[in-house]
């Protein structure tokens, strides 16, 4: 018998990804959330699941969302959605500022002494547990740590003796192993994560424009909820759903994806993606905010529900979402098709490929991009909603880029320590934004974007 008969067939890269990273029935690890091209089968299944959920929405929750069915859309060339109402920014920006706005005091607005005290207690407790198991080795040099030393350790990972640094890194801990909840996948980091995200919300009131997107923390080790997103710089890792203030780049809130136990409130009829949005936006509804999202979140049902709660929305959208209108099938470059249903505007625009956008805050019409077409010599034009979406959707990616310049993340065999260092990067970013707002406000403020559409001026 030939030895070739015993050789095992190697799996293709696509098969490996399908087995390890697309098996979760509850959530989606999209290949490219901004693309309208063909999607993996599991994402199509998720779409079907969400659309089926939408079709069974409870009447008392979404009674006001009439007008999201396909037959209610009309062809239009002049339409300005009613929008969510006027937004007031008088109270926006830093909340509860320190008496002396130094960099250290701004940092301590988030990483408070209470949080550090909790870390110190659990680190000392964990070190004692290690000492009971190991009578020799590195733990011989251990001495209980303190709040000032922990601040030094966290802020620098800097001017500390190597032995002390390594032993603190070994013993760094965030939960009591004897009392933690067994069935919580985030039990090792839950307390600190909740405390820090609470401080993000407490210390800053966002301006009008917000965006929700995914962020991926690089992690190639094993963890049950590791994700694979090829469009991200770090393709493998722990996924966060992040809410950002568009004007400043401030990270307002975040949720760690942990599979079916992800900490979100489920809204019947909105599916997983809509529930993520509603959970993050809950404190900011009925205030006139405008949300920007990509096509994994966007749907007529979600946008109508947000509008009923005084919140506008704009985002790329999958053309087969339930409630979307039927557009012109074949279009030439630069051609645009507008459809409205009284409260929402749906747009199909053909550039290099078809782009579908849904909005409750932007009018019909085209606006100049500021660039010149080198073939025709004419200004390049885009639909107003596309232009605004491109300007305001990148806040989460910008936050990832900013934290990536000087990230304090270190190699670790423990995933929850890596998550903590990622949170520490976010604390540094938010602290810097707060410090700039308190001391250099002119560096943060930007002029209102004004553009003209068909002779009418919009801001």
3-state secondary structure 39-97: CCHHHHHHHHHHHHHHHCCCHHHHHHHCCCCHHHCEECCCCCCCCCCCCCCCCCEECCC
Residue 185 lies in a domain: no
Mean pLDDT along residues 439-449: 50
Domain that holds residue 343: 12-110+203-444
pLDDT(95) > 80: yes
Residue-level pLDDT at 168: 83
Flag the least confident range among 15-29, 155-169, 217-231, 308-322: 15-29
**155: confidence class by pLDDT, cuts 50, 70, 90:** low
DSSP-assigned letter for residue 138: G
CA angle 450/456/458 to nearest 5° reads 30
Residue 246 in contact with residue 223, Cβ under 8 Å? no
* DSSP symbols for 273-298: HHHHHHHHHGGGTTS--EEEE-TTT-
Residue 118 lies in a domain: no
**For residues 204 and 45, which has the higher predicted lDDT (pLDDT)?**
204
Q: Tell me the average pLDDT of the chain.
A: 78
Task: Give the pairing type, strands 312-316 and 290-293.
Answer: parallel
**% of the chain residues with pLDDT over 90:** 31
Mean pLDDT along residues 148-173: 75
Residue 135 lies in a domain: no
| Alpha carbon distance 238, 178 (integer Å) | 25
Residue 232 lies in a domain: yes
Flag the least confident range among 109-113, 279-283, 339-343, 386-390: 109-113
Residue 194 lies in a domain: no
Flag the least confident range among 18-32, 78-92, 186-200: 18-32
Mean pLDDT along residues 357-370: 92
**For residues 276 and 398, which has the higher predicted lDDT (pLDDT)?**
276
Residue-level pLDDT at 303: 95
Residue 178 lies in a domain: no
Flag the least confident range among 130-144, 198-212, 351-365: 130-144
Mean pLDDT along residues 366-391: 89
DSSP-assigned letter for residue 449: P
Residue-level pLDDT at 62: 52
| Alpha carbon distance 278, 357 (integer Å) | 20
Residue 390 lies in a domain: yes
pLDDT(357) > 90: yes
Number of domains in the chain: 1
Residue-level pLDDT at 409: 52
Residue-level pLDDT at 56: 42
**For residues 66 and 171, which has the higher predicted lDDT (pLDDT)?**
171
pLDDT(32) > 60: no
pLDDT(69) > 90: no
**For residues 285 and 231, which has the higher predicted lDDT (pLDDT)?**
285
Residue 130 lies in a domain: no
pLDDT(162) > 50: yes
Residue 429 in contact with residue 251, Cβ under 8 Å? yes
pLDDT(25) > 50: no
Which neighbouring-strand residues pair with 216?
239
From the list 250, 311, 342, the residue with the least C-alpha distance to 66 is: 342
pLDDT(20) > 60: no
DSSP H helical ranges for 282-405: 300-308, 384-392, 395-405
């Amino acid at each position: 018998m030939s030895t070739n008969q015993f050789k095992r067939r190697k799996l293709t890269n696509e098969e490996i990804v399908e087995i390890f990273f697309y098996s979760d029935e509850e959530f989606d690890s999209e290949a490219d959330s901004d693309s309208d091209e063909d999607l993996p089968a599991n994402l199509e299944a998720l779409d079907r699941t969400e659309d089926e959920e939408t079709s069974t929405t409870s009447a008392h929750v979404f009674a006001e969302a009439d007008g999201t069915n396909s037959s209610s859309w009309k062809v239009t060339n002049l339409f300005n959605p009613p929008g969510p109402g006027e937004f007031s920014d008088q109270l926006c920006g830093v909340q509860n500022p320190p008496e002396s706005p130094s960099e250290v005091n701004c940092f301590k607005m988030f990483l408070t002494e209470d949080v550090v005290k909790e870390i110190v207690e659990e680190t000392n407790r964990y070190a004692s547990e290690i000492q009971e198991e190991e009578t020799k080795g590195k733990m011989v040099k251990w001495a209980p740590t303190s709040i000032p030393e922990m601040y030094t350790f966290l802020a620098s990972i800097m001017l500390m003796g190597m032995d002390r640094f390594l032993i603190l890194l070994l013993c760094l801990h965030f939960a009591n192993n004897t009392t933690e909840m067994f069935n919580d996948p985030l039990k090792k980091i839950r307390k600190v994560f909740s405390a820090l995200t609470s401080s993000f919300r407490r210390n800053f009131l966002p301006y009008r424009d917000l965006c929700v997107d995914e962020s991926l923390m690089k992690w190639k080790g094993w963890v049950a909820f590791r994700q694979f997103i090829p469009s991200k710089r770090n393709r493998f890792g722990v996924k966060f759903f992040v809410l950002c203030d568009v004007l400043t780049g401030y990270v307002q809130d975040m949720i760690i994806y942990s599979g079916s136990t992800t900490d979100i409130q489920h809204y019947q009829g909105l599916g997983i993606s809509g529930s993520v949005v509603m959970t993050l936006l809950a404190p900011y509804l009925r205030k006139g905010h405008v949300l920007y999202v990509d096509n994994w979140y966007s749907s007529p049902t979600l946008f109508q529900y947000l509008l009923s709660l005084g919140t506008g929305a704009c985002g790329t959208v999958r053309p087969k979402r339930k409630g979307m209108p039927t557009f012109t099938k074949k279009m030439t470059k630069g051609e645009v098709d507008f459809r409205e249903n009284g409260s929402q505007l749906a747009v199909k625009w053909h550039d290099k490929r078809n782009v579908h956008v849904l909005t409750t805050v932007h009018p019909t019409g085209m606006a100049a991009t500021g660039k010149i077409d080198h073939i025709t010599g004419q200004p390049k034009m885009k639909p107003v909603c596309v232009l605004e979406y491109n300007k305001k959707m990148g806040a989460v990616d910008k936050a990832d880029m900013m934290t990536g310049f000087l990230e304090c993340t270190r190699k670790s065999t423990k995933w929850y320590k890596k998550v903590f260092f990622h949170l520490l990067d976010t604390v540094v970013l938010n602290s810097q934004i707060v410090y700039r707002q308190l001391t250099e406000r002119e560096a943060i403020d930007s002029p209102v974007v004004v553009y003209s559409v068909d002779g009418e001026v919009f801001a």
